[in-house]
A and B are shown apart, each in its own frame.
Chain A
């Protein structure tokens, strides 16, 4: 069981907007600690997608954005493209566990 909770799957048609949630608690996201997001294409290592407050590494398009409220965070992908089909993982820090924690990952399917 992951400390952060993500839906196992999400889907959308090309051009649509999809939102993936990441639910935590008062000891991690709500503490508040930063939430980071990773994209994992099939058969590859995770890649940093967004870190901290909506910071995107070089090369990540602004179609990807995040929001945070209370003990939850969300990743929004606008203008969905076929190449966005991947697993998405959220990460934060948990002060009770004194550890980095991840969500279980969400598999995004582009219809």
Chain B
């Protein structure tokens, strides 16, 4: 069973950036990033297929989120820029299912399992 281990909590100033890591190994899969503000629901921020480096972002985060992956260390990263107070949240990575061949991935399923333990990012001056 794949396990996802995330980096530790961060405290950032407004206007700065944060980069969170997620170590995940074992097979071909996608890594998604989801955040949860205090007392709120879940919000999808984007995903990467580490094998090919292909990314996808919702329009809301296209200008501020960059997801990357280092295949050599089986680690995915999510960087969020221009931080604001309403970016204070727990950020999760989670594994998605993809079906790929040597040329690319031709099928993708968006259920997420398992999830990382979460990383609390606090944005405060």
* B41 interface contact, C-beta 8 A: yes
User: How far is it, in angstroms, between the C-alpha of A28 and the C-alpha of B94 when the chains are bound?
Assistant: 21
Q: Interface residue count for B (Cβ, 8 Å)? A: 22
Chain A residues positioned under 8 Å from B109 (CB to CB): 34, 51-52
**In contact, A89 and B41 (Cβ under 8 angstroms):** yes
Most buried by B among A48, A52, A100: A100
* A69 interface contact, C-beta 8 A: no
Q: On chain A, which size bracket covers the interface?
A: 20 to 34
Q: Dominant SS at the A interface?
A: strand
B59, B92, B110, B113: the one contacting A100 at CB < 8 Å is B110
Given contacts A45-B92, A45-B115, A48-B112, contact A99 B58 (CB under 8 A): yes
* Nearest-neighbor residue (CB-CB) of B1 within chain A: A58
Chain B residues positioned under 8 Å from A103 (CB to CB): 41
* Nearest-neighbor residue (CB-CB) of A2 within chain B: B41
Considering the complex, which residues of chain A in the window 31-58 have a beta carbon less than 8 Å from any beta carbon of chain B? 34, 36, 38, 45-48, 51-52, 57
